[in-house]
Amino acid sequence: MSLETPAAEPVSPPAPAPVRDLDWDAGKARELGERVMEIWLELLERMPHLPVARPHTVEEVRAAVALPIPDEPMPLDDLVAHLRDVALEWSMYPGHPSFLAYILGSGTVPAAPAELLAAGLDQNLGGWRLSPAATEIELHLMRWFAESFGLPPGSGGIMTSGGAMAAFVALKTARDARSGWDSRDRGLVAGPQLVMYASTEAHVVNERAADMLGLGRRGLRQIPVDGELRMRTDALNEAIVADLAAGVRPVAVVATAGTTATGAIDPLAEIADICAEHDLWFHVDGAYGAIAALVPSLRPLFRGMERADSIAFDPHKWLYVPPSAGAIVLRESHRLVEAFDVNPSYVHEDRERTKRGANLMEYGPQFSRGFRSLKVWVSLLAHGWSAYERRIEHDVELARYLYRQASERPEFEPMGPEPRLSIACFRYLPPGLPEGPEREAYLDRLNERLMTEIQLDGRVFPSNAVLDGRFVLRICIVNFRTEAADLDLLLEVAAELGARLDAEMRAR
């Protein structure tokens, strides 16, 4: 026995005990997963017989769905009942055959299980090492679209949240590629004023992108349109010449391939010539329409698009996947890296050693990125491209059918140019409406109220456009469930509610 007092044993705390609450095993996952799957399948079966939308108020919806967050697990039966309620009582259905509004894909069926798998895989496409297969699928898909649009090898791009972010990414890249100084480093104060151009029919997100890029909203010049609602290239030329003379530097032109109001396609080849002449970035906003260029019968409408520096398109529109899924492809995909690369000290990588691929955090404004491309990829694999071609053509045929019906029936009037893509506009014209100075203003008020009443009625769901100051009803078919009968129903409902409103309004 030693006489020395033993040194005190260092007391090391015990290893932390496991905390397993959040770690559901496969059996528990199956319980919830299968019951959610049942809700989805019930929705698929019942959707055509449900109203497209219900006239609920915000108070009603909030009271029904805004549950308090529990401290302890909600019993599975209650949770599933809540989800079923959300799906079948308190939602509206862009995938309903009679949903005809805005531009909102009906949601491919294979996208839903693809989203489940994407969430289950938990990939982060900011870094290749965190998403090897996912990053390669996204890049492969983007190269396929870019080359199918006619861009050369070396083209490609990334997925975005939608057309709005695609516009921002494209115009940011354009700004830095064409400013003429290191605008990324020194900002806009270091050079002359920069401007871009788009038609008066261009989508508002382009203006907002100009705002976010520091050009200001007026930094996106609004060019007037012709009778077919396409950008007037003579006016574009004049605007560029005037800006140059004033010491302002033009950097980009946004041509729209499928405007939101009527589906008009700007004269892309002529705009490409003007961009080439002045060394401007040629951006095509094809958020809605560009996909139609991949259909041989519609391709000629898009002549000149293959000369673009960048093309925005939205898989959540005419590729029918559920939101959100936008995309931007560029003639020279490396331009994205020039506009967005960063070099964080906390993301070290020896690529020569690892042979890893691209880190998409350097290709756009997002750092962490989800596996958005999987729903697009799975839908294309499951359906095959030919099915898309047939359906996109059919959507266009249906829009023309509605336009024709509106011109043949006396209580309707087709409005705007004849559909080139899948958008058609018309208005209700009550029989016996007297001619006179009040007529147009009355028709605007009547059709404005009519659109609201049709949406609240819920049997069909159109939206509106304002064409040359006139309020019109508008349909856009990016819906693989819509058929001619849905369009007949639209006219039936519009005639019924229109007659009632007209009687009411004229009595006053």
Ligand X SMILES: *Cc1c(COP(=O)(O)O)cnc(C)c1O
Task: Give me the residues that bind ligand X (CB under 6 A), please.
Answer: 103, 162-164, 203, 205, 256, 260, 285, 287-288, 314, 326
Alpha carbon dihedral 318, 271, 307, 180, in 10-degree steps, equals: -110
E-state strands within 429-503: 463-467, 470-476
State the minimum distance, in angstroms, from the CB of residue 259 to ligand X.
Answer: 6
State the minimum distance, in angstroms, from the CB of residue 221 to ligand X.
Answer: 17
Tokens 């040194």 -> residue: 7
H-helix or E-strand spanning residue 285: strand 281-286
Q: How far apart are CA 457 and CA 98, in angstroms?
A: 12
State the minimum distance, in angstroms, from the CB of residue 10 to ligand X.
Answer: 60
Give the nearer residue to ligand X in terms of CB position, either 328 or 487: 328
- For residue 324, whether the previous peptide bond is cis, meaning omega lies within 30 degrees of 0, is yes
Q: Are 118 and 374 a contacting pair, CB within 8 Å?
A: yes
Count CB neighbours of 489 within 10 A: 15
Give the nearer residue to ligand X in terms of CB position, either 127 or 364: 364
Q: In the complex, which residue's CB is closest to ligand X?
A: 163
Give the nearer residue to ligand X in terms of CB position, either 162 or 250: 162
Buried residues in 163-177 as b, exposed as e (16+ CB within 10 A): bbbbbbbbbbbbbbb
Q: How far apart are CA 215 and CA 247, in angstroms?
A: 15
State the minimum distance, in angstroms, from the CB of residue 287 to ligand X.
Answer: 3
Give the nearer residue to ligand X in terms of CB position, either 103 or 415: 103
Give the nearer residue to ligand X in terms of CB position, either 164 or 225: 164
> 177: which residues sit within 8 A by CB, 6+ positions away?
281, 309, 335, 338, 339
State the minimum distance, in angstroms, from the CB of residue 256 to ligand X.
Answer: 5
- Of residues 357, 355, 353, the one with CA closest to residue 337: 357
Give the nearer residue to ligand X in terms of CB position, either 151 or 312: 312
Give the nearer residue to ligand X in terms of CB position, either 285 or 362: 285
State the minimum distance, in angstroms, from the CB of residue 176 to ligand X.
Answer: 21
Phi, psi of 250 (to 5 degrees): -70, 135
**For the purposes of burial, counting CB atoms within 10 Å of the CB of 191, is it exposed (0-12), middle (13-18) or buried (19 or more)?**
middle
- H, E, C per residue of 71-99: CCCCCHHHHHHHHHHHHHCCCCCCCCCCE
Give the nearer residue to ligand X in terms of CB position, either 223 or 494: 223
State the minimum distance, in angstroms, from the CB of residue 317 to ligand X.
Answer: 6
